[in-house]
Amino acid sequence: MKLQSRLAEAQGTVETLNGKAVLLEKEKMLLINKIEETGAEVDVAGQRCSQVWLSDIQFSRDTVLMAFYSADGEEVQEFRTHCGGMAVQD
């Protein structure tokens, strides 16, 4: 009788642990999906960042070109001021 009682207790423990294992597997799958989604969001954010960076470079380049090619000396002087006083050829 004593062994039968221990066997029943052990079987109950195994069933409980199997239930916990199933729950952990479900949680693991949810976390894997969340990680994949986050990775995709990071990729999109990186692409947007690159686009903004390139746009900013293009804007800066266009601003510099406008200052260099301006017929008005005032804009060239303004460009020198914004660039920390570095030499700009007129």
pLDDT of the residue at 33: 97
Q: At what angle do helices 2-69 and 73-82 cross, to 10 degrees?
A: 150
Give residue-wise pLDDT tens across range 2-59.
999 999 999 999 999 999 999 999 999 999 999 999 999 999 998 888 888 777 777 7
pLDDT of the residue at 46: 87
Cα maximum dimension of the chain: 106
Query: Which residue ranges make up each domain of the chain?
Result: 2-82
Give residue-wise pLDDT tens across range 59-89.
776 666 565 555 555 555 554 444 444 444 4
Extended strands (E) in the chain:
none
Q: Is the pTM of this model over 0.85?
A: no
Q: Which two tokens stand for residue 56?
A: 């900013």
pLDDT of the residue at 62: 65
Higher pLDDT, 59 or 90: 59
